[in-house]
């Protein structure tokens, strides 16, 4: 029997079609192989369409810009028969209700882990830009405003985003009558499962996550936490604000212009060596970032205070200024794209794990386009929608930029 998964799921391939690219079980870069790890929630009796085929079709459809379950079905339905065959469908494709019923029954966290591992296997090695380079993960939550839980509440998802590759490593849904704080620990456990360890990983989060438990969790696993501090931690905030910042020299300063504004970011860093140090576990340095913006002649200033568990020899002011902007990355490169390009807030998914599953598909599409080298995700989805065979080639081989017909490489 052939070791190619493509051959296994396509036993009735028409004879006149060219043979698909041979993909062995060792090639984890193939989407078909990766999706074999997903458990099929359906009763074994009456399974008409392979789970791998339905899931692969859903991933490809969202990569091509599908924004809803109905759009996933339409993308498959409007393809020609050779595309159907390459996806594993013979004779006909599943109805929209079949696709919907299957996807809303999947375990969203497992699907997120499987697809995150697949994307990491496909991503090339990260170019290390200096001896202090480290893996930085931004953690932030987002509300899917169009989706609703059975009790009418909106769906709130917490994501961990690898800023170096643009891949969402894990995503969890906030439990009923809860918030992001209790979800932080299970999210980081999923990240550790994908990466193998949290050792030397820096997690950057907003002020909501300036929590003792979070710092202790990361320290126990060999990781580090960098978090903003605001009024939700009044004692720590007052301590940071009262430090002698006027006596601290400027550690780093950057200037940027664009979108009709000028911005200067000034970073000062202080290692607190007094007895007791900072009033936050494992905090090694205090950081103050002053942002001065000029828009149409109007000047505004904003000051942010942060703590970080990395010592000065591992985190210089320029590094800290760059890492602090990781929250900007997850907001603009992930959440904004999900809202604008994939119209997430307009998607009224309300049943089962549907909202979280489709958010995972959007994360996967964005991450895969980033791996492909795309800087404009909307353009990348349009290109994928016009080249379905290139798209299927891309998700079943290890060089997506070449097989997808990236004009930069041609």
Predicted pLDDT of residue 27: 54
Least confident of 30-39, 72-81, 83-92, 123-132: 123-132
235 and 229 in contact (C-beta within 8 Å)? no
Residues 6+ apart with CB under 8 A from 402: 409
Asked whether the predicted pLDDT for residue 399 surpasses 60, the reply is no
Predicted pLDDT of residue 398: 54
Please tell me which residue, 386 or 272, carries the higher pLDDT value. Answer: 386
Residues 6+ apart with CB under 8 A from 273: none
**Rounded Cα–Cα distance for residues 90 and 314 (Å):** 56
**Rounded Cα–Cα distance for residues 254 and 263 (Å):** 8
Q: Residues of the chain with pLDDT > 70: what percent?
A: 87
Q: Grade residue 261 by pLDDT with cuts at 50, 70 and 90.
A: confident
Q: Grade residue 402 by pLDDT with cuts at 50, 70 and 90.
A: very low
23 and 32 in contact (C-beta within 8 Å)? yes
Closest to 367 in 3D by CA, of 393, 325, 317, 330: 330
Which DSSP string do the residues of 42-100 spell out, in sequence order? S-STT--S-HHHHHHHHHHHHHTT--SHHHHHHHHHTS-HHHHHHHT--S----HHHHH
Closest to 315 in 3D by CA, of 131, 166, 192: 131
Predicted pLDDT of residue 352: 84
| Listed ranges 154-158, 222-226, 392-396; the one with the highest mean pLDDT | 222-226
Q: What is the pLDDT of residues 24-69, one digit of tens each?
A: 434 557 899 999 999 999 988 878 899 999 999 999 999 999 999 9
Predicted pLDDT of residue 170: 96
Q: Grade residue 127 by pLDDT with cuts at 50, 70 and 90.
A: low
Which DSSP string do the residues of 211-274 spell out, in sequence order? -HHHHHHHHHTT-EEEEEE-TTSHHHHHHHHTS-GGGSPP-EEEEEEETTEEEEEEEEEEE--S
Q: What are the CA-CA distances from residue 409 to residues 261, 368, 372, 373, 401 (Å)?
A: 34, 17, 11, 11, 7
Average pLDDT, the chain: 85
CATH code for residues 110-337: 3.90.350.10
Q: Grade residue 131 by pLDDT with cuts at 50, 70 and 90.
A: low
At 344 the three-state DSSP class reads helix
Instruction: Work out the number of other CB atoms within 10 angstroms of the CB of residue 174.
Output: 19
Predicted pLDDT of residue 11: 33
- Sign of the CA dihedral running 61, 62, 64, 65: positive
Predicted pLDDT of residue 21: 44
Asked whether the predicted pLDDT for residue 76 surpasses 50, the reply is yes
Predicted pLDDT of residue 125: 62
Delimit the domains of the chain by residue range. 5-103+372-409, 110-337
Beta bridge partners of 294: 262, 299
**Rounded Cα–Cα distance for residues 269 and 241 (Å):** 12
Asked whether the predicted pLDDT for residue 90 surpasses 90, the reply is no
Predicted pLDDT of residue 274: 60
Question: What burial letters (b/e) apply to 226-239, b meaning 16+ CB within 10 Å?
Answer: bbbbeeebeebbeb
Asked whether the predicted pLDDT for residue 82 surpasses 50, the reply is yes
Q: What is the pLDDT of residues 298-331, one digit of tens each?
A: 999 999 999 999 999 999 999 999 999 888 889 9
- Find the mean pLDDT for residues 278-307: 91
Q: How far apart are the first and last CA of the chain?
A: 37
Asked whether the predicted pLDDT for residue 270 surpasses 90, the reply is yes
Asked whether the predicted pLDDT for residue 236 surpasses 60, the reply is yes
Asked whether the predicted pLDDT for residue 126 surpasses 70, the reply is no
Predicted pLDDT of residue 20: 42
């Amino acid at each position: 029997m052939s070791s190619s998964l493509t051959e296994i799921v396509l036993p009735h391939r028409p004879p006149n079609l060219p043979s698909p690219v041979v993909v062995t079980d060792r090639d984890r870069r193939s989407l078909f192989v990766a999706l074999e790890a997903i458990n099929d929630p359906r009763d074994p009796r009456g399974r008409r369409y392979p789970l791998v085929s339905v899931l692969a079709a859903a991933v490809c459809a969202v990569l091509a810009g599908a924004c809803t379950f109905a759009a996933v079905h339409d993308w498959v339905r409007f393809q020609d028969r050779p595309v159907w065959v390459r996806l594993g469908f013979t004779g006909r494709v599943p109805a929209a209700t079949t696709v919907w019923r299957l996807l809303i029954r999947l375990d969203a966290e497992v699907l997120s882990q499987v697809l995150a591992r697949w994307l990491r296997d496909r991503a090339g090695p990260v170019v290390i830009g200096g001896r202090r380079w480290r893996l930085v993960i931004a953690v932030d939550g987002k509300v899917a405003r169009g989706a609703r839980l059975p009790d009418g509440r909106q769906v709130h998802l917490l994501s961990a985003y690898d800023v170096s590759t643009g891949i969402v490593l894990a995503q969890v849904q906030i439990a009923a009558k809860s918030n992001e704080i209790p979800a932080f620990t299970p999210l980081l456990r999923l990240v550790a499962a994908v990466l193998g360890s949290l050792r030397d990983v820096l997690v950057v989060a907003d002020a909501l996550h300036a929590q003792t438990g979070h710092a202790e969790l990361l320290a126990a696993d060999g990781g580090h936490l960098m978090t903003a501090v605001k009024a939700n931690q009044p004692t720590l905030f007052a301590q940071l604000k009262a430090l002698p910042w006027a006596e601290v020299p400027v550690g780093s300063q950057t200037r940027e212009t664009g979108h009709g504004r000028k911005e200067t970011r000034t970073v000062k860093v202080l290692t607190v060596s007094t007895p007791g140090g900072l009033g936050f576990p494992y905090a090694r340095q205090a950081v103050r970032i002053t942002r001065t913006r000029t828009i149409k002649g109007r000047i505004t200033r904003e000051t942010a205070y942060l703590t970080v568990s990395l010592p000065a020899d591992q985190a210089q002011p320029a590094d800290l200024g760059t890492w602090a902007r990781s929250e900007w990355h997850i907001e603009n490169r992930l959440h904004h794209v999900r809202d604008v390009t994939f119209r997430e807030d307009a998607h009224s998914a309300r049943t089962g794990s549907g909202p979280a599953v489709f958010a995972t598909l959007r994360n996967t599409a964005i991450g895969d386009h980033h791996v492909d080298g795309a800087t404009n995700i909307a353009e990348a989805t349009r290109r994928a929608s016009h080249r379905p065979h290139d798209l299927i080639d891309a998700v079943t081989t290890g060089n997506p930029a070449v097989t997808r017909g990236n004009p930069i490489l041609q």
